[in-house]
């Protein structure tokens, strides 16, 4: 089910899908209201890397302590559990987490699907959950379904990146993108997919167009809507941001593998910074546009009909649950903050 963009039409598997075109320049962005804040170092949580939540609980993986920390929705510390390793109840670098049917599901670097109850007790694991050899860019839907990105390289034609939905019935291609070998180090051309999932939908931004969002119905296993947002224009990186990228590239070039290659930092940011969805299938598109130092965020229903626009403070991690927005912010002083939307 590959997606091909042509002008204002998108063909999916040979069928023409209608596009919603949105102009939102006259909108007034709303600021979210801060409710609570705690310092994470107080609980010896130093390097938060993943955050999930449901109902009145939050779970954060700390890559420094190699543990999962549990907090209440009121930001009260409850407990920490798990440890680094490959034994029962142990985890090696979680890649994604999800709460499903009163269980915390953890998919780790060793490609295991590990299950805990919501009190942190180990329930079991599945070492054959995913096709072995797949890239580690995976989003869990439940214990049987997931989304994964794959690369297929042809010696003469280049590389094709594809995004698939996997279920017990097979796999469905959601979108794909092809680039030539000469472009593989051009950071402007080798864009990657962005996607997220909600209970009933998967939302995708394909690299074939930085201005489109796709809504995929999980139950029906079909794409229902494609959004083209005219306000998602490319923004230039600031001189300071480009300086930081050039510094990282210079460090990479010190490696013999890259020393003879010409790699340049991109000039433009992608239009959308990230996607996330809540328990009501509402989509939040966090753009690279800023207002008063915060990210402008557009909100849509599952059919990608525009609902609202808010501004969200800069952050490392974000979670939206029951009209509450939880952010991990700061660098030298990490905080977990709760906002009302």
> Can you give the residue ranges of every domain in the chain?
20-234+270-335, 237-269
The Cβ of residue 42 has, within 10 Å, a number of other Cβ atoms equal to 10
SS3 243: helix
CA distance linking residue 194 with residue 14, whole number of Å:
23
Look up residue 138 and give its two tokens.
């995976």
Closest CA to 70 of 55, 83, 84, 57: 57
Structure confidence at residue 77 (pLDDT): 96
What are the phi and psi torsion angles at 233 (to 5°)? -90, 155
CA distance 75 to 70: 9
Pairing of strands 113-117, 9-12: unpaired
- Give the sign of the dihedral formed by CA 281, CA 285, CA 290, CA 293: positive
Residue 5 confidence (pLDDT): 37
User: What is the spatial distance between Cα 49 and Cα 73, in angstroms, rounded to a whole number?
Assistant: 18
Long-range contacts of 219-225 (CB under 8 A, 24+ apart): 221/165, 221/167, 221/169, 221/172, 223/1, 223/12, 223/17, 223/174, 224/302, 224/303, 225/17, 225/18, 225/20, 225/302, 225/303, 225/304
Q: Which of the following CATH numbers is that of domain 20-234+270-335: 3.40.50.150, 2.120.10.30, 1.10.3080.10, 1.10.630.10?
A: 2.120.10.30
Sheet of strand 67-72: strand arrangement: 48-54, 57-62, 67-72, 77-81
**Per-residue pLDDT of the chain in tens (341 residues, 90 and over written 9):** 343 333 333 434 444 444 444 444 456 788 888 999 999 999 999 999 999 999 899 999 999 999 999 999 999 999 999 999 999 999 998 999 999 999 999 999 888 999 999 999 999 999 888 766 655 678 999 999 999 888 777 766 667 778 889 998 888 988 887 766 555 445 455 556 789 999 999 998 876 545 678 899 999 998 888 887 655 655 667 788 778 777 777 776 666 655 555 556 665 666 788 899 999 999 999 988 888 889 999 999 998 888 999 999 999 999 999 889 999 998 778 899 999 88
Q: What sign results for the dihedral spanned by CA atoms 25, 208, 163, 249?
A: negative
């Amino acid at each position: 089910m590959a997606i091909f963009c042509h002008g204002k039409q998108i063909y999916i598997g040979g069928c023409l899908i209608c596009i919603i075109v949105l102009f939102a320049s006259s909108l007034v962005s709303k600021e979210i209201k801060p409710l609570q804040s705690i310092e994470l170092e107080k609980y010896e949580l130093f390097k938060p890397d993943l955050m999930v939540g449901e109902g009145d609980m939050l779970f954060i993986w700390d890559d420094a302590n190699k543990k999962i920390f549990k907090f209440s929705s009121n930001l009260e510390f409850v407990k920490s559990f798990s440890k680094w390793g490959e034994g029962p109840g142990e985890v090696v670098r979680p890649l994604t987490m999800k709460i499903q049917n009163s269980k915390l599901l953890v998919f780790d670097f060793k490609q295991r699907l590990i299950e805990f109850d919501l009190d942190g007790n180990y329930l079991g694991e599945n070492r054959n959950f995913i096709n072995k050899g797949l890239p580690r860019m995976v989003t869990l839907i439940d214990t049987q379904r997931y989304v994964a990105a794959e690369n297929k390289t042809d010696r003469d034609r280049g590389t094709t990146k594809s995004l698939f939905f996997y279920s017990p019935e097979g796999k469905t291609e959601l979108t794909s993108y092809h680039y030539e070998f000469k472009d593989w180090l051009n950071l402007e051309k080798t864009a990657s997919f962005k996607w997220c999932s909600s209970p009933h939908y998967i939302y995708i931004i394909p690299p074939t167009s930085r201005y489109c969002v796709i809504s995929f119905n999980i139950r029906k296993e079909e794409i229902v809507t494609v959004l083209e947002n005219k306000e998602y224009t490319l923004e230039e990186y600031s001189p300071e941001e480009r300086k930081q990228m050039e510094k990282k590239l210079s460090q990479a070039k010190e490696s013999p593998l890259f020393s003879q290659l010409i790699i340049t930092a991109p000039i433009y940011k992608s239009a959308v910074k990230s996607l996330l969805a809540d328990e009501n299938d509402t989509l939040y598109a966090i753009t690279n546009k800023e207002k008063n130092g915060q990210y402008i965020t557009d909100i849509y229903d599952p059919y990608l009909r525009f609902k609202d626009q808010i501004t969200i403070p800069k952050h490392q991690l974000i979670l939206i649950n029951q009209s509450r927005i939880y952010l991990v912010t700061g660098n030298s002083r990490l905080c977990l903050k709760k906002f009302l939307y």
